[in-house]
Amino acid sequence: MGKRILVTGGAGFLGSHLCNRLLEEGNDVICLDNLFTGNKDNIRHLLGNDYFEFIRHDVTEPIFLEVDQVYNLACPASPVHYQYNPIKTTKTSVLGAINMLGLAKRVKARILQASTSEVYGDPQVHPQPEDYRGCVNTMGIRSCYDEGKRVAETLFYDYHRMHKLEIKVMRIFNTYGPNMNPNDGRVVSNFIVQALNNEDITIYGDGSQTRSFCYVDDLIEGMVRLMNSRADFIGPVNIGNPGEFTIKQLAELVVNLTGSSSKLIYKPLPSDDPLQRKPVIEIAKKELDWEPTVPLEEGLKKTIEYFKTIVK
Ligand code: NAD
Ligand code: UDP
């Protein structure tokens, strides 16, 4: 029998893939989203499905629903969008976590938090294992997101200790794929859109900073495995692809794969931009029998095909 599952942020990039996957598995899915960075186009094909329900709602306000599981993904994820109204970003992470944890407690649902590699800040330890406590600036322009996500994790652990709530904390590393918002300023979407339009590719800094990019299908597989793992495994667990690339390498790869005539140009590096990032995924391998299967080049090709359908 399928479960009743709430996905907050379900009209966003990751949330829309998760809704698809949960419906394919025969579940009843409620997608809750305020459509700040998400888009109805990501879920339009699901709107006629009897097992799917869309609720336009802001997670900073309480809501009463009866479900078996909650995936809490609601939060703008790209620096451009989370810095647009930083106070709202912190409220979304913190009040959103409180409201969803309250809901889960009331109906005894299991709840998963979409946390982030940003809890490690600009890491002084490389690669990053889950027991690294991070290096986050409380006063910087990324803090609204980083500290909001850190408090959300704290709330999850306190609800677990105080109320015996079944929690799962997942630390997501940079993920890319179809349904990314073309305007949200993240590096993969920016570079692909620029390359398809034969516009300059904007590298921030000298392009030597690194990121490790996970294809969305791999990420969703890890997320669903974590949610359904044994009750006493609560995380935190890193989910990401350990393949590490400089931003300049990514730009060159996108130009090659699109056959673009774009030139690489250099712009100032935003403050607190992490210099390096790569997950240690030993816990995911051991506890979830999970590891990524899609190499960057293959995932980029699929993502480029998607952007060709939406870029004018
Ligand atoms: P996204 O911006 O595409 O999706 C976020 C969704 O949340 C959007 O649909 C947005 O409209 C919705 N939302 C934002 N504020 C809301 C609010 N107050 N109430 C209700 N809905 C709200 O981003 P994404 O990449 O799909 O990220 C999903 C989650 O995963 C986020 O919590 C993000 O922090 C986390 N994450 C993503 C990545 C990544 O690389 N994609 C990395 C680390 C963590
Ligand atoms: N970046 C870049 N050009 C862009 C967008 C981003 O060089 O047009 C860089 C950004 O400075 C960062 C990296 O790419 O070093 C990843 O940025 P993104 O916003 O995708 O994610 P995050 O910094 O949160 O990992």
Write the DSSP symbol of residue 200: P
Q: What is the rounded distance in angstroms from the CA atom of residue 287 to the CA atom of residue 223?
A: 12
Would you state the structure tokens that stand for residue 146, as one six-digit string?
């980083």
Q: Dihedral (C-alpha) 138, 33, 85, 184: value to the nearest 10 degrees?
A: 90
225-247 mean pLDDT: 98
Does 62 have pLDDT greater than 80?
Answer: yes
- Residue range 123-149: average pLDDT? 97
Question: Is 197 in a helix, a strand, or coil?
Answer: coil
- The single residue listed with the structure tokens 């490790």 is 212
Query: Which residue lies with its CA nearest to atom 12 of ligand 2?
Result: 273
CB 156 within 8 A of CB 114: no
3-state secondary structure of 115: strand
Query: Tens of pLDDT along 191-235?
Result: 999 999 999 999 999 999 999 999 999 999 999 999 999 999 999
pLDDT recorded at residue 120:
98
State percent of the chain over pLDDT 70. 100
Residue pair 122/135 in contact (Cβ under 8 Å)? The answer is: yes
In the chain, what are the domains?
4-177+214-241+278-293 (3.40.50.720)
Is residue 285 a contact partner of residue 240, using CB atoms and an 8 Å limit? no
- Whether residue 77 is predicted with pLDDT greater than 80 in this model: the reply is yes
User: CA–CA separation, 120 vs 130, rounded Å?
Assistant: 9
Q: Please give the structure tokens belonging to residue 103.
A: 């809901």
- pTM beyond 0.75: the answer is yes
User: Cβ–Cβ contacts within 10 Å for residue 161, how many?
Assistant: 10
**Residue of the CA atom closest to atom 18 of ligand 2:** 186
pLDDT band for position 164 (cuts 50, 70, 90): very high
Check pocket membership of 59 for ligand 1, CB cut-off 6 A: yes
Mean pLDDT on 282-291: 98
Q: Which of 81, 203, 204, 255 to mutate to test the pocket of ligand 2 (most atoms within 8 A of CB)?
A: 204
**Residue 178 pLDDT grade (very low, low, confident, very high; cuts 50, 70, 90):** very high
pLDDT digits (tens, 9 = 90+) for 39-49: 999 999 999 99
Phi/psi at 232 (5° precision): -85, 5
279 Cα to the center of ligand 2, angstroms? 17
DSSP H or E segment with residue 194: helix 187-196
| Nearest residue (CA) to ligand 1, atom 33 | 77
Residue 271 has pLDDT above 90, yes or no: yes
pLDDT band at 272 (very low <50, low <70, confident <90, very high): very high
- Which ligand is in closest contact with the Cα of 209? 2
Binned at pLDDT 50, 70 and 90, residue 301 comes out as very high
Contact status, residue 6 vs residue 27, Cβ threshold 8 Å: no
Mean per-residue pLDDT, 21-31: 98
Tell me the CA–centroid distance for residue 207 and ligand 2, in Å: 9
Give the Cα separation of 6 and 11 in Å (integer).
12
* Catalytic center residues: 145
Q: Is 77 in the pocket of ligand 1 (CB under 6 A)?
A: yes
Given a cut of 80, whether residue 312 has pLDDT beyond it is: no
Closest C-alpha to ligand 1, atom 37: 77
Q: What is the pLDDT of residue 219?
A: 98
CA distance 40 to 58: 15
Give the confidence band of 141 by pLDDT, cuts at 50, 70, 90.
Answer: very high
CB neighbour class for 144 (10 Å; exposed up to 12, middle 13-18, buried from 19): buried
